Amino acid sequence: MTSPSPTADRGAGPAVSVGDVTKTYGDRRAVDGVCLDVRRGEFFGLLGPNGAGKSTLVEIMEGLRKADSGSVTVFGESPWPRNTALLPRMGVQTQSSAFFVRQTVHEHLRTVAALFGAERAAVDATLDIVGLGGRHDVRVDDLSGGQRQRLAIASALVHGPELIFLDEPTASLDPEGRRALWEVLRDLKAEGRTIVYTTHHLDEAEALCDRVGILVAGRLVVTDEPQHLISTFGATSRMLVPLGRIDERKAASLPGVDAVTVQGGHLVLETRATGKVLAALDAVTGLDGVQTRTPSLEDVYLDITTRQNPQNPLASNNQEHQV
Ligand SMILES: Nc1ncnc2c1ncn2[C@@H]1O[C@H](COP(=O)(O)OP(=O)(O)OP(=O)(O)O)[C@@H](O)[C@H]1O
Ligand SMILES: [Mg+2]
């Protein structure tokens, strides 16, 4: 990854523009009228349940799949049919990456680097970055699942692309590897590169992404900054009160309390009015030992995906929240 950093020219139009894209497999609509712009220099996270259409949408952006209808541009150009002018500017890690399995790790990445005309020095540097520095001579088919994942990520980064697509890059990484990759991705963003990635780790998306989009059954139901989404979506906070401090019925009657449950050694008070409930609790029992859990992106995500999923009996169709 020794190629020069791109200057994130935010005036030059979006990195990726998706207009009313639809893709159907047989009678299954995998992507259903998605509109989305990813800005230059942005870290964009695509979230959604298994089968929601994330990989299909990302592969359409990458030019690996053809949309049935709608428009896609990458840096203003169509990625389909295979656009050789765009290839050096994009790095792609697919969910089922292909490898030259009979090669060693170093040979594999050298081959990928050569395809893109990347400098040989970039191979060693990139293997170090993804934590495969000590595995140069191991054959690809002898790597563990997580090590293969690291090699797939290295293959997407080795030529220093401006736009990086990663489909669940942290899915099989150990916790240390996941955190190390966070730092790599933050550095890439700091260099002005654009990142589009998918994940099921909501803590990770909250920590890394400038914006997230949530896909449910092929439809993009929300696009927003994680913190803005959390604060505007009205997800509940939870207050954990040690059992025995206040009676369950009394807790339920406090102003601002929406629901009360018993979990472990605590009464759990759900509320959208944290200050009000804390004041009431303070007056009744004091706040010693009371813990507050503020809502996370995961709470909002679960709320949205549960309500939007047509297979879910709790679903409703009037919850759209496009920002
Ligand atoms: N090549 C294909 N042929 C037929 N159906 C497909 C194909 N690829 C995906 N699908 C279907 O399209 C839908 C969306 O799949 P996709 O892989 O895009 O979902 P995803 O959001 O990436 O899921 P996951 O989180 O499991 O990776 C699914 O119902 C899947 O079965
Ligand atoms: Mg997928």
Please write the tens of the pLDDT for every residue from 39-57: 999 999 999 999 999 999 9
Distance CA(246)–CA(254), nearest Å, equals 11
Domain assignments of the chain as residue spans, ordered by start: 11-230, 236-294
Contact yes or no for 168/223 (Cβ under 8 A): no
37 contacts: CB under 8 Å, gap ≥ 6: 14, 16, 17, 18
Q: Is 199 in the pocket of ligand 1 (CB under 6 A)?
A: no
Q: Is 50 in the pocket of ligand 1 (CB under 6 A)?
A: yes
Ligand nearest to the CA of 66: 1
> Residue 10 carries which DSSP code?
G
User: In CATH terms, are 11-230 and 236-294 the same topology?
Assistant: no
Contact yes or no for 105/91 (Cβ under 8 A): no
Average pLDDT estimate for 8-36: 90
Query: Dihedrals φ, ψ of 172, to 5°?
Result: -115, 25
Looking at the domain 11-230, which fold is it? Answer: Rossmann fold (3.40.50)
101-149 pLDDT per residue, tens: 789 999 999 999 999 989 889 999 999 999 999 999 999 999 999 999 9
**pTM for the model:** 0.88
CATH of domain 236-294: 3.30.70
Q: Is 53 in the pocket of ligand 1 (CB under 6 A)?
A: yes
Q: Is 94 in the pocket of ligand 1 (CB under 6 A)?
A: no
The protein residue with its alpha carbon nearest to ligand 1, atom 16, reads: 53
